[in-house]
Structures are given as structure tokens and as C-alpha cells.
Structure 1
């Protein structure tokens, strides 16, 4: 039997991401769908920025940073690095703090 056939598939609890992940989720990944066509470019930029800020806010909350005053730019940047995301801009950092402010 070839050696490739003997290798097991990764289980649901193992991370298959190429970047390090803070927490493995017991849930199935969300199926990504294409964004709607025909919108202005600014809409797509704002949409992707909101998604990135939300992912960062969730990761910060999971790591124990509960208040916007605790979420300094350096903390947000290091969290982005921990979850395998490109460093956020200053605008995205402000948006992360805004999400944390209104999550209470």
C-alpha cells in the first residue's frame, strides 16, 4: 500500500489553516460566496474592512481584552499577527474599538 494512502485526514478539531490560529473551532467553516457585482469600489473596501475589524474584535474578546481602552494599536497588531492576518490600518483599529464599545 502506498505511503500516501496510510496518512490520515486532519480531523475537525485540527486546524488546516496555513497561518497559526488562536482557537480551533468545533464548527464547520463558513462557505464563502462571491460578493455582489455592480457596487462601487468603496463599498467593497468598507465591507472587507468591517469583516477584518469584526474578526479582530472577536479574537481580542476571546483572548481576554474586553474594553476598548485595553485595545491599543500594538495589541490589535499583535492579535492580527497571531491569527495570521495582515496588519490592520489605523482606520481598522478604530473600527475594532468601536465594535468592542458597542458589543456590551
Structure 2
């Protein structure tokens, strides 16, 4: 009886992280990281079935952040998440 071999190769190679460019004002780094966080949260909510910004309350977004082990987002970041969901449909 033949036994199938199981391969454990990953389906894709993970992206390598690159350093952020030096010499920018602090506000640029803050807004850059805020956009990345909002994007991660919007993707998680879309995967969870939240397709309308009206159903993405601050509490629901912060619960998603907790599941992703991310610091709770500010009100500004929550607004950005809703905007991304709005334009992602």
C-alpha cells in the first residue's frame, strides 16, 4: 500500500520587512503606522463579515484589535477603518 508524502512547504514566501526611511518628520511615521494599523483592522473585519461601515462600531473595531493582539485603536484610527471598509466594497 502506497503512502502519500506530506510536504510542509509554505504556500508563499513572507515579505521581508524593510526599515522606514530616515529623516522624515515624526508626524509622517505616526500617520504611516496609523494607516497600516487601520488597513490590518479593516481586512480583519472584512474577513469576519463586516461589509458596511455602519456595522463597524468603535467597540467592534477594538475587539478585532484585541483578537489581532494590537493596541486598541484611537477614535481617529477607527474612523480610518470605517473609511477603508466604505471604499473596499
Task: Return the alpha-carbon distance in structure 1 between the equivalents of residues 56 and 85 of structure 2.
Answer: 9
Helix, strand or coil: the match of 1:84? coil
- 5 Å-filtered alignment, 1:1-104, equals 26-104=11-89
Structure 2 match to 1:18 = none
Flag the structure with higher helix content. Answer: 2
1:29 is displaced (CA, Å) by: 2.5
Task: For structure 2, list consecutive stretches of 5 or more residues without a partner in the other structure.
Answer: 1-7
1:12 is displaced (CA, Å) by: 6.3
Task: Return the alpha-carbon distance in structure 1 between the equivalents of residues 63 and 12 of structure 2.
Answer: 25
List, as ranges, runs of 4+ consecutive aligned residues in structure 1 with deviation greater than 2 Å.
26-29
Q: Which digits, 9 at most, give the CA deviation of each residue in 1:20-45, with x for residues without a partner? A: xxxxxx54322110001111100000
Number of corresponding residues: 82
Task: Return the alpha-carbon distance in structure 2 between the equivalents of residues 77 and 101 of structure 1.
Answer: 18
Task: Tell me how large the CA RMSD over aligned residues is.
Answer: 1.4
Task: Return the alpha-carbon distance in structure 1 between the equivalents of residues 88 and 17 of structure 2.
Answer: 25
